Structure formats: structure tokens, C-alpha cells
Amino acid sequence: MGLELPKYPEMEEDQVFNFTDSEIVSHVKQALASVLSGDNNSYNQLVGVMHHSKHLAPDEVALLETTLKALAGAVSSIDITYHDSLLSAIFCMSMWNYGPHVADALAELIVSLAISNGKYLDLCLGMLVSNFTPPPYFLDKLKMPHGLERKGQVLSRVHAAFKKIADYVPLAPLRLLTIVLQGMPTIYHKDRAIVIYVENMLKLESGEIGELVGSTILMAVVDRLIELDVEIGWDAILQDDFSKGIFEMELEDVDDIEESAEPDVGEFRLSRKSLAGNSIAELLDNLLVLTFEHLESCEREGRLAKVFETLLQSFQFVMFYACALDPENCGMRFATMLADLFVQDSQPQPTRMSAVSYLASYLSRAKFLAASSISSMLKRLVDWCLEYCEAHDGDINPNAHRVFYSGCQAIMYVLCFRMKVFVDVPRLKSELLIPLEQVLKHKLNPLKVCLPSVVEEFLRQAKAASLFTVCKTFIFDGLLESELSRAFGGLERLDTFFPFDPCLLKKCDSFIRPMFVFWSMVKPTHDDAFDDDDDDDGSSDDYLVQDFVNENEDIMNDEFGKSFDEQGVDMDDFDYALKKMSITPKATSNYKFGGRFQEPARMPSRIRPSTSPESL
């Protein structure tokens, strides 16, 4: 049965009547009212107009537009029970199917409906939120100019509608927030839908009602990013293959990825190649790009500092980028927050250890941080470690002093990357290195417990820079980790946690790259230094270390600081460092660092959605 084109009774095909708006409105009201008395004819015609959406001829379009406008004027006559078929027809309409005029009329109708009665508010907001994403058939057209135009047209009307509703119903943003969060596509939906949904969420954050809903929305976006991150090949990463050094070459030169040999059977190396086909990785990539672009626009509008407070709880490369955009304020705030977490006795151990790992990785990798900032942070860490040593007179014990060992490792790690900073400034050398030496030589023996690869590299650089003498020999045989380091690292392997290792995602990496310190950029040429020392009649201490170094030089050269250029790069051997990309260990639920530590508790000074759980 075909759909009969409904006609208003007075309209004849050959005659053109000009009806005033109010006449049309009263006609519609009559149609609505007649339902109550049992006469459904005109009402059904109305519903029919709403349903007719595809391939509309111009006069059908005009009819639809007129009907919508009339309904907007007659909202007070709409009854939620009697007219439910009309209402469901309206709420199913998608602005993506229509041109600008109909979209306008539809938006107007939705706004009128929302403000006319509290009963319709949620439904109207829900309808608008469902217009964040186009109907399935349209998803492919999004990239084309016509699609983009339609997208701009729809989204601007949707967001304008939110603003209007919020003007007349002050508590609407609260409801909107709930609806937006509930409607968020999971990561298993078609990825283009979530990308455009997140785009809308970010638009809400920067829009006029952004102040009211912004921080919760940002957190929700970040949560989704974290979810995706955890999903990426985690099962594959759980291989215990730590044969590559931390300081091995990192992928810097994107263009030079060779088509190389297949990875060894039974091993899955996380590499840019292997991520390429991974749709989840692609999705994360796209979302991160969106987020970065959003941060850039926040910065341009001068809002970054405010947004940053929310972000402090969030995903690490997003943080990195935000800090890079404003090193003095945001950059330092991030570092300070991490340091604060580390020194607080009241925080749980894994939290403190993760915090200092984040801090170490951040201080090493952030190109945009001033030397003074880095040194002040380091000083804080060193001072804390020294205090700890003085308060604890025990022997080496990886389990009992986990936080201490992670602090020491952090210091050494940063110094591996930033040695130049300290060597050049004599004052720093004395302020920092004398206490550090005391720490390292203490009975607690951090040099033996911390990750061997870090210790080795640190000692090598320290020796080359003549920082201090080391009286014990540390023979690690090129071990990346040891029993002791595993012990202090614990189940979560916090001894090998370097969150800001190079970003593997192609698109967002282009944002991060310019502000990132790659190992090869700071890799010292300490081989030369060793040659010089050969001639010295050093003390027996130096000699021992040097012997050790000489013996293991080959191993070390293989493992450490091999620059990308030096050897025929086997890009397939994406090392260990990259496996550590954005670690959010699976046991994240226990101490979700990327999650929320402190939700600000504030008394609502204006209408603000609550961040507390409604009930526990």
C-alpha cells in the first residue's frame, strides 16, 4: 500500500491558497484535539507527513516544513498519551535527511516541545543527541563535500538547540549530560560513529553550555581513550621477552619502515606495522587527534588552564600535549602534582610508584621543559630519597622499600636522558649530585636493586661525566632486569613502567613528535670518554668500573643507545621500549593512575552536575 500524500482538506491541486500561520496552527490543533474525541483522520494524515522522509519532491518538502512549523506553534495541544504515534514519529526524525529549512523547522519544534513540558525534556534532548551521528547510509558520505556541508548544517542546529533549551530550562544541561554519557557508543560500534560523537562532545565542552558540562564530558572522552588503549593487543604484549634494552633505538624515522622479515614465530612485537591493521588502534588514533585539536583550540581561546585541571586525571599523551602547549603553567603543574603524589605517605604504594614513574618518563621526554624545572624536580626527588635513607637504617630489601627504589630509579632514568643539563652547570652538580651520591652508596643499595639496564646506562654516563666514583662492581651481563628489580617492581612491574615512551599511533604522533625527546637525541658519545680514560692510572675503583665497562662494551653497544642511523635498521625488531607504550597495565582497576584520584568537592555555586556517585 503506497503512502498517500496527505493533503489539507482545503487545498486543491490546482488552487493556491495562502493560509496565515495562525490558520494552519489552528487546523493542526483541531487535528490534535479531534483524537480525544475519537476522530483520527486528520491526525493520521499529520503522522503520515512526519514519516515521509526519503526522496521528497519540493512540494512535499514544503508540506513537511509547514507542518513542523505549525506543530511548533501547537505544542501545548500535544498530549503524551493520545498523540504518542506523532511524538515517536517526530523523535525518530533525523536532521541528516533533510535540507536546511526543514532542519530549522524540526529544531524549532523540538525546542518548543522541550520547553513546553518537563515530560518531553529528556525525549527531546535524546532526539538531539541521536542527531550527533548520521544514519548508517550517510556515514560513507561524511568525507565528501556534500556530506561535510550537511554535517556542518546539522550540528550547528543541534548545538544551537541545546543552547536555546538551556536558556529556558536552566537545569537542562544536567539532563543533557546524563543523556550524552549514556548515549556514547562503545568502542565496539562502527568507529566512525564514535569519532563523530566524540567530536560533538568536545563541541559541547567548548560551546556555550560548556562551563556546566565540560569537565564531566572531558573525563568521559578520556575514559573512552583509556579503554581503547587497554584494548590494543594486550594479550599479545604479555610476552616475557625482555631481551631488548630500554635505551635501544626508537623509531624516529617514519618513512624508513622497511618491509622486513616476519617476526619470530610465537612472538608478537608491537610495532607500527602490526598496529596498522588494528582497527582499535586506528580508532584511538583518530580520537586522540580530535582531542589534540580540541586542546589547541582551547589554548587559542585562552581556556587551556581551566581545561587542564580536568585533564590532570587523564590520558598520558593528552596530558603531554596539553603541557607542551603551555610549559610554564600546565607543564609545571603536572610535574608538581606527580611529585606531590610521590612524597605523600598517605597515598598507597602503587600510586606513589606510578606517580614517580610518570614523573621520570615525563621529565625525560618533554622537550619543552626548562632545565631549571627539571633540576628543581630532581632535587626534590633526591632530597626525599636522602631523607628516607637517613630515616631507614636497613639493609637492601626490595620489598620493604619499594617506593624508595622507584624514586632512585626515577632519578637515574632522568639523568640518563638529561645528563648534559647537570654536567654543564657546576652549581647543580654540587647541589644535586652530592646528596645523590650519598643515596646511591647507602646500605639500601639502590644500584643493585633498580632495573639493571637503567643502572648500567646511568653509571656509564656518570663515569664519563666524572660525577662520582662507584666502589662496587655491578655486573649485570646486559641484563635488562633482575630478581631484585622484579621484586621491587612487584606484580604490576612498576620497575619497567615508562609511560611516555614513544607514541606508536601514527596520526597523533605527528602532534607529539616535535616536543618529544628521543633517546638518540640525547645519547651520549661516551665511547670517546672511555678511550681517554684508558690512559689514566685511575684509582682501583675507577679501574674496576672501567674493566667492567670494557668487558661488556660490546654487549652494551648492542643494547644501548644504538642510534637509528648506525646500523641497518631492522624495523621489525621494534623494541621493548615501544612495547611500553602507554602502559595501562591490565590490573588497572586497582590503581587507575589515569583515572580519578581526587574529584574536587565543591558546593554548587551554580548549577553543576554532581561528580559524586548517587549511591554506593
Give the nearer residue to another protein in terms of CB position, either 11 or 171: 171
Instruction: Enumerate residues 394-423 that contact another protein by CB under 8 A.
Output: none
Selected range binding another protein among 195-203, 208-216, 497-505, 604-612, rule: CB under 8 A: 604-612
Question: Which own/partner contact pairs does 99-102 have at CB distance under 8 Å and 24+ positions apart?
Answer: 99/61, 100/153, 101/61, 101/65, 102/61, 102/64, 102/65, 102/68
Binding residue count for another protein, defined by CB under 8 A: 26
Which residue, chain included where needed, has cell 617492581? Answer: 489
Of 70 and 304, which CB lies nearer to another protein in the complex structure?
A: 70
Q: How far apart are CA 297 and CA 202, in angstroms?
A: 11
Of 72-80, 198-206, 451-459, 507-515, which part binds another protein (CB under 8 A)? 72-80
Taking the CA atoms of residue 13, residue 18, residue 21 and residue 27 in that order, the dihedral angle to the nearest 10 degrees is -50
Q: Which stretch binds another protein (CB under 8 A): 316-324, 384-392, 461-469, 602-610?
A: 602-610
* HSE-up (13 A, CA, CB side) for residue 205: 29
* CB closer to another protein, 346 vs 540: 346
Q: How many C-beta atoms lie closer than 10 Å to residue 39's C-beta?
A: 13
Question: Restricting to residues 154-183, which ones interact with another protein according to CB under 8 A?
Answer: 167-171, 174
Shortest approach of another protein to residue 170 CB, angstroms? Answer: 5
Q: According to CB under 8 A, which residues from 339 to 368 bind another protein? A: 346
What is d(CA 180, CA 129) in angstroms, rounded to the nearest whole number?
Answer: 7
Distance separating alpha carbons of residues 132 and 554, to the nearest angstrom: 58
Q: Per CB under 8 A, does 453 bind another protein?
A: no
Q: Which of residues 422-441 bind another protein (CB under 8 A)?
A: none
Pick 26 or 260: Cβ nearer another protein: 26
- Counting every residue written for the chain, the total comes to 616
Pick the binder of another protein from 75, 381, 451, 581 (CB under 8 A).
75
Give the Cβ contact number of residue 144 at 10 Å: 10
Q: Is 603 in the site for another protein (CB under 8 A)?
A: yes
Question: Taking CB under 8 A as the rule, does residue 212 contact another protein?
Answer: no
Residue 253: is it exposed, middle or buried by C-beta count within 10 angstroms (0-12/13-18/19+)? exposed
| Residue 36 found at the interface with another protein (CB under 8 A) | no
Closer of 152 and 348 to another protein (Cβ)? 348
- Does residue 607 touch another protein according to CB under 8 A? yes
Cβ-Cβ contacts under 8 Å for 562 (sequence gap 6 or more): 248, 249
Task: Give the 3-state secondary structure of residue 388.
Answer: helix
Exposure b/e, 4-33, CB count within 10 A at least 16 = b: eebebeeeeeeeeeeeeeeebbbbbbebbb
Q: In the bound complex, what is the minimum distance in angstroms from residue 167's beta carbon to another protein?
A: 7
82: helix, strand or coil: coil
C-alpha cell at 142: 561524511
In sequence order, the 6+-apart residues with CB closer than 8 A to the CB of 173 are 162, 166, 209, 212, 213, 607, 609
Q: How many Å apart are CA 99 and CA 154, to the nearest integer? A: 9
Footprint on residues 570-599 left by another protein (CB under 8 A): 599
Residue from 41, 76, 399, 510 binding another protein (CB under 8 A):
76
Kindly state whether residue 612 participates in binding another protein, applying the rule CB under 8 A: yes
Distance separating alpha carbons of residues 248 and 237, to the nearest angstrom: 18
* Nearest approach, Cβ of residue 208 and another protein (Å): 15
SS3 523: coil
Least distance between another protein and beta carbon 473 (Å): 46
Shortest reach from residue 72's CB to another protein, in Å: 10
Q: Which stretch binds another protein (CB under 8 A): 48-56, 70-78, 333-341, 362-370?
A: 70-78
Q: Nearer to another protein by C-beta: 113 or 283?
A: 113
Q: Is 546 in the site for another protein (CB under 8 A)?
A: no
Q: What's the min distance (Å) between Cβ of 296 and another protein?
A: 33
Cβ at position 93, least distance to another protein in Å: 22
H helix intervals, 312-451? 316-325, 332-343, 349-365, 371-391, 402-424, 426-428, 434-440, 446-449
Nearer to another protein, 81 or 612 (CB): 612
Of residues 102 through 121, those in contact with another protein by CB under 8 A are 115-117
Q: Is 602 in the site for another protein (CB under 8 A)?
A: yes
Identity of residue 302: G
Q: Which of 46, 50, 73, 480 binds another protein (CB under 8 A)?
A: 73
Nearer to another protein, 114 or 432 (CB): 114
- Residues near another protein (CB under 8 A) are 22, 73-76, 115-117, 167-171, 174, 346, 599, 601-604, 607, 610-612, 614, 616
